[in-house]
Amino acid sequence: MKLIRTIGLAAATLLAAGAAHAQQQFVTVLTGGTSGVYYPLGVALSKVYGDSIPNARTSVQSTKASAENLNLLQAGRGEVAFSLGDAVSDAWNGVEDAGFKNKLDKLRGLAAIYPNYIQIVASAESGITTLADLKGKRVSVGAARSGTELNARAIFRGAGMSYADLGKVEYLPFGESVELIKNRQLDATLQSAGLGVASLRDLANAVQIVVVPVPAEVVARIGDPAYQAGVIPANTYQGQTADIPTARIRNLLVTHSGVPDDTVYIMVKAMFERLDQLTAAHSAAKGIVREEAANGMPLPLHPGAEKYYREVGLLK
């Protein structure tokens, strides 16, 4: 009798453990390179989710950023991703030239967050001070078909230029681009990121730099409302003593339709209740404004996110 009771208790324990395991929420946050802004913010966001979502098992994945993140979400290989707004629009519409052979119809919006700024930085010794000066020079435009690289194409198009005008085009992530400039193997790097990105701070502390302006008229000629005129404030980087005009593009947090509504609701609510943890991870998060989070989405909001925005009066 005692043996039967013992076996019964063991079985009940196993069943309970199995039920708890079945309820476990796996949340992978897809970010970007470790020297960019997405990664530290993703680490902070993962911590917020781990503290807020019941039975959550969170992780952070470093990727090639926007386009790769969106394709991974479509395949169900992640639950939340950082991406540039124009890349999300291209993914939702299936723009093949941007790296999306088919419409990524499982994607859903979570929140509009901080803006990325197009930051074109050259070594002072390269002699580059304008976009036209990039002609014939060695320039890194970001990983192929990354959000940064798509931004680079747009900027050159607005300036009446193309990659063919450059002396050499390198498709490299932020950190590698900076190392090549330090070693005089590259003249300039275009990086689409939040202000104060670690890679450019590192470069400015190592060599004398020039931040190349992108005039408002160039931004206007891009012809895409996702691109707006912006300013890199003076002293964002060592040696940058003046405000520099440039283009900015809103970043988005994206999820997919397979993530439960209740989980997404908690994700959005927890992020806005703990924004201080994100700003502690990177100052770019100061640009996250709850009142703007549901605006300008080029794809449908996830029902869990929509529930939160209605609850706080941001959607009717």
All domains in the chain, ordered by first residue: 25-114+251-311 (3.40.190.10), 116-249 (3.40.190.10)
For residue 40, give every residue at least 6 positions away whose Cβ sits within 8 Å of its Cβ, in sequence order, or none: 198, 281, 282
Angle at 217 between CA 156 and CA 223, to 5 degrees: 65
Angle at 46 between CA 107 and CA 144, to 5 degrees: 55
Residue 201 C-beta-side C-alpha neighbours within 13 Å: 13
Q: What is the pLDDT of residues 141-191, one digit of tens each?
A: 998 888 899 999 999 999 999 999 999 999 999 999 999 999 999 999 999
Closest CA to 43 of 64, 55, 23, 27: 27
**Residues of the chain above pLDDT 90, percent:** 86
Mean pLDDT, to the nearest integer, of 79-107? 94
Q: How does strand 228-232 pair with strand 244-256?
A: antiparallel
Could you say which DSSP state residue 253 is in? E
Q: What is the pLDDT of residues 243-280, one digit of tens each?
A: 999 999 999 999 999 999 999 999 999 999 999 999 99
Confidence at residue 97, expressed as pLDDT on a 0 to 100 scale: 85
pLDDT > 50? residue 14: no
Residue 90 C-beta-side C-alpha neighbours within 13 Å: 24
Instruction: Give the global pTM.
Output: 0.83
